[in-house]
Amino acid sequence: MIFTKHVFGLLVAAASLQPLWAHHSFAAEYDANKPLVLKGVVTKMEWMNPHSRFYLSVADETGKTVVWNIELLSPNVLVRQGWRRDSVKIGETLTVEASQAKDGSNFANAQRITLSDGRSIYSGPAGDAAGSPARGGK
């Protein structure tokens, strides 16, 4: 009986740490010295922890369509910056200022997003709350 309680306790503790293991720092995955600007159409939005993300369909230099995985902050932080679940809409054309993944893959971490109506929204530690969608920033 005691053994069972200990095993259960260890399982619960391990399960509660799982999100920490899955989380990563910006510097571990992205290169601030690899800034990029992407313009494309949103194909999917994932509003989830530990990071929200959306997928952007972008035409490369040859005209071939490439899908980029754009990472954002956590939903909680985004909401505090003025975001809503529908701030980024599927089918909308966006311009994204981001840092590319260190491995050169089609992953990027967004800092500033310009919506189709010209408003800018921010997803980064340096995000300007005055430019958030809830405050109508540009």
Percentages (nearest 5) of helix, strand, coil residues in the chain: 25, 35, 35
Record the pTM.
0.71
Domain assignments of the chain as residue spans, ordered by start:
25-135
- pLDDT confidence of residue 106: 95
Architecture of domain 25-135: Beta Barrel (2.40)
For residue 126, the model assigns a pLDDT of 45
List the chain pLDDT tens, one digit each, 138 residues: 554 454 444 444 444 333 433 445 665 678 888 899 999 999 999 999 989 999 999 999 899 999 999 999 999 999 998 899 999 999 999 999 999 999 989 999 999 999 999 999 998 754 444 444 443 443
Strands 107-114 and 53-59: unpaired
Look up residue 25 and give its amino acid: S
